[in-house]
Structure 1
Amino acid sequence: MGLAVLCASLLIVVMDMTILNVALPSISEQLRPGSVQLLWIVDIYPLVVAGLLVTASGIADRFGRKRMLMVGFAVFGLASTLVLIADNAAALIAIRALLGVGGALIMPSTLSMIRNLFTDGKERAVALGIWGSMAAVGSGLGPIAGGALLTHFSWHSAFLVNVPIMAVALVAAYFLLPESKGAVVRWDALGTGLSIVGMVALMLAIKNFGKHGMADPAALVSAAVAAIALGWFVRRSLNRPDPILDIRLLKRRGLSAGLIAALTTSIATAAMMLLLAQWMQLVEGMSALEAGVHLLPVAIAAGILSPLAPAIAARIGTRTVMAGGLLMSATGFLVLFFAPAPLTYPFLAVSMLFVGVGMSSLAIGSAAVMASSPAERSGNAAALEETSFELGAALGVAILGSVAALVYRNGLSTGELAASGVTGESAEAARESLGGAIAVAEQAGASGLADVARESFTTSLQVTGIAGGVLMLVGAVTVWLLTPKDLSVTGAH
């Protein structure tokens, strides 16, 4: 029952990340946020989560993981309730930031508590497989739940759905979960500040580089701040006998291999899911709910296979499953690139199935991370893995998203746009995004422009497939070389 509480809490947090994408059009229509405010509505949550993960895991280790998990539930539920009084974009940004605080308290606590709930390696590996399947199912159910809610209710429902669930989780956690703590360390205010500033600056730098290019002044300043703060934090952690984050854990090859698997998969899948959702809605003309349903192959494959991954690893080896999973995901991305033109949904479904099969191996990656860390440092290990996921998602949108944007813009030359009577700001809007191109085409009465834009976007999706495939192949080789041959995630630890 304790595992059910932890899995359900992760499911809701993951779903909340994807529901917002479906709710954004309604939010934009009612609150009228500016372009910068709209970006902050989307970005503030992952920024806060990434910035607080290390601090949250340190607080949980010190004061109790169950206690911090329950605080996280309460904060998440309270923030979701406050949406009732949000009547402007600034208020919604603040609420999303508060949700990020709750998410940062919940996410590493669920993983570290599994490490301590299940002392038997085999049971722990199975539990992590089930936990991993919830993450996959949550990412798939988010758009569907959001689409269903918004069909009948206002955008507020995308937030309010969290309230009763968090209330139940809070009560269940109190009665069903045992308390556990990590290594007792002296509180390090400077180290805490450096980790928060460094991670937030790093996430801002990645996002700004992806949106505005490598010469963007804000991105360069953020990158410099991140380098100084994180460099100082790492040096301070290595020089202290009891750091809030034990950087020395990265010397453990099994743990590092699990982190690389998480980072690589997150980079590739974040960009892929974002582009596929746009392709289905803007190229194929699906509704948000229909797009969510058509994205389900990833969640179905990962959800079914994740609990089975430990048994497979026990038979063929942890290293084979981890590297093989990345290889399967690479195959899925390459299917996108080699699919015959015009691209159709059946090939996308095959691609997503391969990616979902590959994602199921992340359960073994999590087990490798936990198995390679001492129980008293499981909070640190959980924070490292969750940080890998957050950084990967940001890098995926920034790097692979930039590749897709470049290919798309190259397919819409200013000359072609001028021939359709589209120049100036309208031309730039058309080259900025597919949604912008379709809007400009409707205003100009140029249906041919919309067709060219859709074709260019499809090409960008397929080119991103080869880029993601190569990245996953590199990740597979790295994980294979790094993972110890005899690493077992089902033995006693």
Structure 2
Amino acid sequence: MTKSEASVQKAGGATAEKFLVIPVLVLMLAQMGTVAENATMGIAASALTAQLGATMSDIQLANMIYPLIAGAVMVAGGMLGIIIGWKKNLRIGLLLAALGELVAAVSPDMFIFTWGARVLVGLGGSLLVPSLLGIIPTIYKSGKNRALAFGCIGAAMGLANVLPLVLGALMDSSGFRITFGALGAYFLLIFLASFGMPKTEQAAGKLKFDTVGTVLAIVGLFLFLFGISRVSVWGLLTASAAAPFSIGGISPAPIMAIAGIIVLVVLFRVERTVEAKNGCALIPRSFRKTPQVLAGLTTCGAIFVFGGAVTILLLPYLQLVSGWSALLTGLAMVVYGMPMFVFALGLPKLAPEASPRRIVQIGYFVTAIAAIILLFSVTPEGVTGLVWAGLVVGGIGSGFMSAQASNVVALAVNDRDAAQSGGVQATARNVFQAMAIAILGTILLFGISSGVASGAADSAAISPETKQVVAEQTYSLTSDDNFEAKVSEAGASADEQAELLSVYADTRAYSTQLAWGVTAVVLLACLLTTRWITVYKKEA
């Protein structure tokens, strides 16, 4: 028996599977690359604004494209993996991700950066991430080793936050182009390392790809995610001036989201027929009908709700309001990531018999506390030292959830469905992240715009003409200098600019605090799903 095969050893009369280290290291590095790539987008806000003229809306869209594309295609990526093989699926994803990073490095404007680079990276992630989770059940058969391997992948998400520290220093010294180029080289190196992984099992028999389900999933998820992502720009009900069109004055954003939901309802009905006919489907019955799977998917997504809040609320505030450099912002991500790494890796290793439900419940509660701490760290001028405590506590809570999220899903289904579940888990992560960014971004935009308009209307120091101009414009999270430049162009005098800046700073802080409060409520609401976690061991 070769080292590349899952070997067994005799221990006390029973066979115990040997835990293979090299495969899980390759998978961890790949997972780190995807998380670091998204985190790097957070610390690139200032560079993209300065070098490509990006607005906050542009940055929000660029952040949204990865979870938008990946979320729409990842379910298909999970099914494709069981048909063509997980290693091949992984390698194609790595090459697409590398190409996307290289396009980002040479992008002449935000259009190419967003719709070229970010789309390619999203497509790469849609194959890469399901493969990480799909490979594990094919290599690690014992429940203990499988739980540890899943914990390693969760730990990699935390450890990945060390990379933005290095990439932040690189961005400060060499610019965003060199930084994204380095990420491209990183994915290429992992591609080469993947050839040293052991052979994985193929699905028994010839499986038919669910083309109809794939098309419906991509269309439905894209419409839904893109619709909610545009609410903050196109309007919630009444179409804004930025909307490309309107239907009787109604914003197209909610219409697209509702259309996406309708398509997804059709998808679930179609999948029942497809699975009965072909023996497999894009979304197997076990995913649709098993409550524990739904609880596990919610946990997978909740990790990215908090991560999405950090991306859209904290990182821009640190850079644009507090004036933090990319290096210091990267250090903040390390402070968040290291506790996540320690607890995601340590819990399955040191407490293998602990209740998955209890661990997930603790994770939800602790992460909600972190959101509240970060709420109180926000001030009109920037952040207080509480931000470091919030990041540490958030990392601990995310580590608890990461330790068991994927394992909770795998425990509830058979091995083939457990391998295929990687695509659904990854989709849940991206859907939750996209929804978090969209909802929190909308709270920021509407809260700041309405707050500035009402504050200006109540001020005796601002002329009626300036009040009218201010009320007609929209505002989002930006620096003091950018805000002053905007109201100056609108014709505000120097005294009016100072008054408006004071109103804006207070409103900006309040809207950010409100968004953090919403984040905490969402995380606590997710606790209700943990009652469905009832299977603690694979034998059950």
Pairwise same-fold verdict (TM > 0.5): yes
Provide closer, same or farther for how the CA distance between residues 150 and 339 of structure 1 changes in structure 2, counting only shifts above 3 A. Answer: closer
Which runs of no fewer than 5 residues in structure 1 stay unpaired?
Answer: none
Amino acid in the other structure paired with 1:456: T
Q: Are 1:466 and 2:517 an aligned pair?
A: yes
| 2:536 aligned residue (481, 488, 492) | 488
Unaligned runs of 5+ in 2: 1-21, 240-250
Answer whether contact 1:182 1:375 (CA < 8 A) is retained: no
Give distance in 2, aligned partners of 1:426 and 1:406. 14
Which of 343, 349, 354 is the aligned partner of 2:393? 354
Cα deviations by residue, 1:187-217 (Å, 9 ceiling, x for unpaired): 2322221111111111112112344333153
Distance 1:417 1:394 in 2: 37
Query: Which whole-Å CA distance do the structure 1 matches of 2:316 and 2:458 have between them?
Result: 23
Partner of 2:93: 72
Aligned to 2:476: 433
Write 1 or 2 for the structure with the bigger share of helix: 1
Equivalent in 284, 287, 299 of residue 261 of structure 1? 299
Of 415, 419, 439, which aligns to 2:461? 419
Distance 2:195 2:353 in 1: 38
Indicate conservation of the 8 Å contact 2:165/2:333, yes or no.
no
For residue 278 of structure 1, report the CA deviation from its aligned partner: 2.6
**Could you tell me how far 1:426 is from its partner in structure 2?**
5.3
Deviation of residue 403 (structure 1)? 3.1
- The equivalent of 2:422 in structure 1 is 382
Amino acid corresponding to residue 302 of structure 1 in structure 2: M
Q: Report the CA distance between 1:400 and its aligned residue.
A: 3.1
What residue number does 2:151 align with?
Answer: 129
Aligned length: 487
CA 1:466/1:36 → structure 2, altered by over 3 Å: closer, same or farther? closer
How far apart in 2 are the matches of 1:9 and 1:482?
Answer: 31
8 Å Cα contact 2:172-2:326 kept in structure 1: no
Once residues 368 and 221 of structure 1 are traced to their aligned partners in structure 2, the CA distance between those partners, rounded to angstroms, is 35
Quick one: distance in 2 between partners of 1:397 and 1:237? Answer: 29
Aligned to 2:172: 151
Aligned to 2:8: none
Q: Which amino acid aligns with 2:85?
A: G
Equivalent residue letter for 2:322 = E
Task: Calculate the TM-score normalised by the size of structure 1.
Answer: 0.89
| Distance across 2 between alignment mates of 1:476 and 1:14 | 25
Equivalent positions of 1:42-441 (< 5 A) are 42-83=63-104, 86-92=107-113, 93-138=115-160, 140-141=161-162, 143-182=164-203, 184-215=206-237, 216=239, 217-240=251-274, 241=276, 242-311=280-349, 314-337=352-375, 344-361=383-400, 362-412=402-452, 413-415=455-457, 419-420=461-462, 422-425=466-469, 432-435=475-478, 438-441=481-484
How far did 1:120 drift? 1.1
Letter in structure 2 aligned against 1:297:
V
Contact 1:181–1:376 (Cα < 8 Å) also in 2: no
The answer to which of 403-412 and 230-239 deviates more is 403-412
CA distance in 2, matches of 1:166, 1:425: 48
- Judged with a 3 Å threshold, the aligned counterparts in structure 2 of structure 1 residues 212 and 267 are, in CA distance, closer, same or farther, namely farther
Q: Label 1:340 to 1:25 Cα distance change in 2 as closer, same or farther (>3 A).
A: closer
Rate the CA distance shift 1:459–1:62 in 2: closer, same or farther, 3 A: same
1:4 paired with 2:25, answer yes
Asked if the contact 2:165–2:330 (Cα under 8 Å) also holds between the matched residues in 1, the reply is yes
Question: Is the CA contact 1:258–1:369 (under 8 Å) kept in the aligned structure 2?
Answer: yes
Q: Deviations over 1:170-197 (max 9, x none)?
A: 2221122423334653223222211111
Q: 1:201 to 1:434 in 2, by over 3 A?
A: closer
Give the AA of the match of 2:38: M
Call closer, same or farther: CA 1:87–1:408 in 2, change over 3 Å: closer
What percentage of aligned pairs have identical amino acids? 21
**Structure 1 counterpart of 2:532, one-letter code:** L
RMSD after superposition = 2.8
> Scaled by the length of structure 2, what TM-score is found?
0.82
SS across alignment from 1:378:
helix
In the alignment, structure 1 residue 13 sits paired with structure 2 residue 53:
no
TM-superposition CA deviations, 1:264-310 (whole Å, max 9, x none): 33224412442122332233222232223234332121111111222
| TM superposition shift of 1:51 | 1.5
Alpha-carbon distance in 1 for matches of 2:23, 2:298? 29
CA distance in 2, matches of 1:83, 1:322: 37
Could you tell me how far 1:40 is from its partner in structure 2?
A: 4.9
Between the aligned partners of 1:471 and 1:267, the Cα distance in structure 2 is 8
> Is this contact kept in 2: 1:80–1:160, CA < 8 A?
yes
- Gap change, CA 1:320 and 1:35, over 3 Å in 2: closer
The offset of 1:21, in angstroms, is 3.1
Which stretch shows the higher mean deviation, 339-348 or 289-298?
A: 339-348
Give the letter aligned to residue 384 of structure 2: Y
Alignment match, 2:19: none
315-324 vs 109-118, which moves further: 315-324
